Amino acid sequence: MSKTTALLAALLTVCCCMAAASQVPVQQLSSLTWLAGCWGSSDAAKNMTMSEQWMRPEGGMMLGMGRTVKNSKAVDWEYIRIEQRSNELYFVVRPRGNSEETTFKAIKLSSREVVFENAEHDFPQRVIYRLTLSGVLAARIEGVENGKPNGIDFPMNRESCPR
């Protein structure tokens, strides 16, 4: 092989590797089917229950809602959705008391976990959903709050959805 041919082959290999590395992996909403359904947890000592419900992926989105009930009164709730936008997924949330939505972009997606991030948001900067091997939905929010790292876990079990 001549030096020119070897050089061309090396350049072609480098170009192919660079092109493959620059391709953005497609994030598919259908890979979050495991999140669909009803989830909940309760704390008898605090007389509190928390629930979250997700519709299955369809029409380019999953719609969800969450509610916290304490002493038989709803004290917190939020409207949430996960949207497919081109090749990426976004988590969009509007908590009680907020007139505006906040959007987080998926930065990690696997068969049992999704991590959404918005580095510009006050707190949280990340929203994480992970399905453990035991079937627990390990939801978590985390980020920096008042200059210090903070994280709050929301473990939930699958429940029957109300009719």
Q: 73-95: per-residue pLDDT in tens?
A: 999 999 999 999 999 999 999 99
CB 102 within 8 A of CB 84: no
Q: What pLDDT is attached to residue 16? A: 46
The domain in which residue 127 lies consists of 27-159
**pLDDT at res. 27:** 92
State residue 30's pLDDT score.
96
Which 8-state DSSP code applies to residue 122?
Answer: S
Q: Is residue 134 part of a domain?
A: yes
Q: Are 55 and 71 in contact (CB under 8 A)?
A: no
Read off the CATH number of the domain in which 114 is found.
2.40.128.20
Distance in angstroms (rounded) separating the CA atoms of residues 57 and 86: 15
Q: Indicate whether 16 belongs to any domain.
A: no
Q: How many domains does the chain have?
A: 1
Tell me the C-alpha distance between 103 and 61, whole Å.
Answer: 14
Q: Extract the residue ranges of the chain whose pLDDT is less than 70.
A: 1-24
Please give the backbone phi and psi of residue 28, each rounded to the nearest 5 degrees, phi first. Answer: -105, 125
pTM (2 decimals)? Answer: 0.83
Structure tokens at 103: 């959007």
- Residue 141: the pLDDT is 98
> Residue 23's pLDDT is what?
52
Q: How far apart are CA 83 and CA 27, in angstroms?
A: 11
| Beta-carbon contacts of residue 58 (< 8 Å; ≥ 6 apart) | none
* pLDDT of res. 20: 43
